[in-house]
């Protein structure tokens, strides 16, 4: 669904000290790295050094925390989500970022201001991975902890990952793959006004609150303006046919994780190319899924997304939907194109709707790995290698192989958490492009238009609840998509739920402005689990008095499914005071701390094994939607495209 106004939020939580991961305990005889107070490990030597000084590689050990006045408070102005996550490419980021960057004696304010080194550099060494253990968080919650994740996030973070603004076309690019494994080659296709550029690869995580670590920097390579894209009729597909610019080898110095590849020219040209480094052999407890099919659905680079398109084949290069129409939308979108420059500098939905979850998981040292939803589509059998799958803030577009694997996985004991709303709402098909498999995303949003209608109705690209597919998302998620434009507090109705342990929540406590934008609720009926629990039940007064619900249900002898029921749940989790607040918002007092505890509680169940054996649901929905309740009336669903 099209995103409505929302506000990134999050509440103060005492972070671990600089350079100190959240654990300092023995793990199978080895002590998890903690570092000496007041020092950061040198990226080149591994030894301690004074914070804020350049390492032997020219990397700055830590950013200076930005000034915070005695009466400062987070800006609580409502922001359209697309505006919020686009602020990384807006002019305000310069001022906010200026306090973060520390000047190096040799390289100015960052490696982006300097000539790239003659050879790629990396600072990671490979060792035998320590054993995953169950350990307590600082809050006393037991979760599976991977010492390799703890050690990785104890390494020096680099604030240079934050971008400066640019104009459309200054520099932009895409990769031949959305994810890669160790040993793979990633080819980048870049168009730029710059005479030359280089690539900086940042692994995103906690890293002392800085949020990223520079893993690799390429040599300088020639820059060039590439050809304009082609509009392919009749599907209005935008596709580039650019020449390769640079090839990167993903080796063992690139730990699996979420990456932003930063394209950097000599005159402040900067833009991201997102990349997931996955591990198909992983047996991590938790797999975090990047919702790149939804990113691509909303990507309007060239003038055409699955929502809007220009009349007459006209090209445009802005995320702003102005001037576009639904009738002229694309029916097939391609990954063979950049993301909009004014959509988080090409990072798309990652920064605003996904990164806060990645940040906390890595801060906790959670036993976690990563893939994209395209990977899930291509290799659905890998789901049962994990105890839980995390779907992030906007995960709207699902293929049949994804959904089938998810349903079967939950029945087999895999747990799932949907940390947004409007998830699994539209069916897609994936087709190849000239660059490889699964590069074209098909979604006609109309059975009448889709050539698959009458040939194989199970694959028709309409909303999952619509004919001829007729598979409501509630069969998997538990709740049902309702509407856009919510602006309401989150109301706690089950403070004694295991999900809310340690939060201090009380009955009917309202957390202001947590429910924004799209929202889901439980709808009684044959398509909804009969044993589902409602733990938060929030009236959305500005949308006709409808409801947003946080729900939990378990499958007998199987897994459990959590659903947050609103599109800004992830927006309540940001918890850094070192990243510029117009890139990642400040914590929100009274909201972020308890919501982060909710996440710890969730991990303590879904990351441990089949949830039906740990926290079986009881069917408390009848309290809110049973006979005589105000919630019994039929919901008003906004099926806007």
| Gap between the terminal Cα atoms of the chain | 6
User: pLDDT tens for residues 526-579?
Assistant: 999 999 999 999 999 999 999 999 999 999 999 999 999 999 999 999 999 999
Q: Output the pLDDT for position 629.
A: 79
Q: Output the pLDDT for position 617.
A: 98
Alpha-carbon span 309 to 575, nearest angstrom: 37
The residue whose two tokens read 């940042």 is: 202
Which is nearest to 282 in space by CA: 127, 122, 129? 129
DSSP 54: B
Q: Output the pLDDT for position 633.
A: 63
The answer to whether the CB of 1 falls within 8 A of the CB of 563 is: no
Q: Output the pLDDT for position 449.
A: 98
Q: Output the pLDDT for position 35.
A: 31
User: pLDDT tens for residues 212-268?
Assistant: 999 999 999 999 999 999 999 999 999 999 999 999 999 999 999 999 999 999 999
Q: Output the pLDDT for position 56.
A: 29
Q: Output the pLDDT for position 267.
A: 95
Low-confidence ranges of the chain (pLDDT < 70): 1-129, 632-641
User: pLDDT tens for residues 170-214?
Assistant: 999 999 999 999 999 999 999 999 999 999 999 999 999 999 999
DSSP 182: T
245 CA to centre of own chain: 27
Q: Output the pLDDT for position 91.
A: 29
Token pair of 344, please? Answer: 């988080």
Q: Output the pLDDT for position 626.
A: 85
The answer to whether the CB of 389 falls within 8 A of the CB of 372 is: no
- Degrees, nearest 5: CA angle 505-538-624: 95
């Amino acid at each position: 669904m099209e995103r409505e106004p929302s506000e990134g939020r999050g509440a103060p939580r005492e972070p671990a000290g600089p350079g100190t991961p959240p654990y300092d305990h023995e793990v199978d005889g080895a002590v998890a790295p903690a570092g000496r107070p007041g020092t950061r490990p040198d990226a080149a030597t591994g030894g301690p050094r004074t914070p804020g000084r350049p390492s032997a590689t020219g990397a700055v050990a830590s950013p200076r925390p930005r000034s915070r006045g005695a009466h400062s408070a987070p800006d609580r102005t409502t922001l359209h989500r697309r505006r919020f996550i686009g602020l990384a490419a807006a002019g305000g980021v310069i001022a906010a970022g200026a306090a973060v960057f520390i000047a190096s004696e040799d390289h100015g304010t960052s490696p982006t201001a300097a000539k790239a080194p003659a050879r790629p550099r990396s600072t990671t060494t490979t060792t035998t991975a320590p054993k995953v253990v169950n350990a307590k968080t600082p809050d006393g919650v037991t979760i599976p902890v991977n010492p390799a994740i703890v050690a990785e996030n104890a390494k020096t973070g680099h604030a240079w990952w934050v971008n400066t603004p640019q104009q459309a076309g200054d520099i932009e690019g895409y990769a031949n793959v959305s994810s890669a494994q160790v040993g793979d080659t990633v080819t980048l296709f870049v168009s730029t006004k710059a005479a030359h550029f280089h690539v900086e690869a940042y692994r995103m995580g906690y890293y002392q609150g800085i949020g990223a670590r520079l893993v690799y920097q390429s040599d300088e390579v020639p820059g060039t303006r590439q050809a304009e894209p082609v509009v392919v009729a009749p599907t209005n597909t935008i596709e580039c046919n650019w020449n390769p610019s640079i090839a990167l080898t993903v080796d063992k110095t690139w730990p699996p994780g979420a990456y932003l590849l930063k394209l950097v020219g000599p005159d402040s040209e900067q833009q991201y190319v997102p990349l997931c480094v996955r591990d198909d052999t992983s047996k991590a407890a938790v797999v975090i899924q990047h919702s790149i099919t939804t990113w691509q659905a909303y990507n309007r680079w060239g003038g055409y997304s699955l929502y809007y398109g220009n009349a007459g084949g006209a090209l445009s290069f802005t995320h702003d939907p102005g001037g576009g129409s639904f009738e002229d939308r694309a029916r097939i979108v391609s990954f063979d194109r950049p993301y909009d420059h004014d959509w988080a500098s090409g990072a798309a939905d990652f920064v605003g709707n996904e990164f806060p979850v990645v940040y906390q998981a890595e801060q906790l040292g959670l036993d976690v790995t990563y893939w994209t939803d395209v990977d899930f589509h291509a290799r659905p059998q890998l789901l049962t290698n994990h105890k839980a799958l995390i779907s992030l803030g906007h995960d709207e577009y699902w293929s049949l192989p994804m959904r089938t694997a998810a349903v079967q996985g939950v029945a087999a004991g895999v747990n799932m958490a949907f940390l947004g709303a409007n998830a699994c709402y539209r069916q897609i098909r994936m087709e190849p492009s000239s660059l490889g498999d699964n590069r074209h995303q098909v979604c006609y949003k109309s059975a009448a238009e889709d050539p698959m209608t009458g040939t194989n109705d199970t694959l028709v690209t309409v909303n999952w609840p619509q004919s001829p597919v007729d598979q409501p998302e509630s069969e998997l998620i538990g709740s049902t998509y309702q509407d856009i434009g919510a602006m309401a507090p989150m109301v706690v109705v089950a403070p004694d739920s295991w999900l809310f342990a340690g939060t201090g929540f009380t009955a009917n406590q309202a957390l202001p402005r947590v429910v924004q934008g799209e929202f889901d609720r439980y709808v009684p009926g044959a398509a909804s689990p009969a044993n589902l629990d409602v733990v938060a039940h929030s009236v959305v007064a500005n949308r006709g008095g409808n409801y947003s619900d946080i729900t939990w249900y378990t499958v007998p002898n199987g897994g459990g499914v959590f659903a947050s029921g609103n599109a800004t749940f992830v927006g309540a989790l940001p918890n850094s005071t070192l990243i510029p607040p117009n890139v990642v918002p400040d914590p929100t007092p009274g909201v972020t701390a308890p919501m982060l505890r909710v996440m710890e509680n969730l991990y303590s169940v879904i990351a441990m094994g089949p949830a039906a054996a740990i926290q079986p649901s009881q069917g408390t929905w009848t309290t809110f939607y049973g006979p005589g309740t105000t919630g019994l009336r039929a919901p008003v669903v906004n099926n806007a495209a």
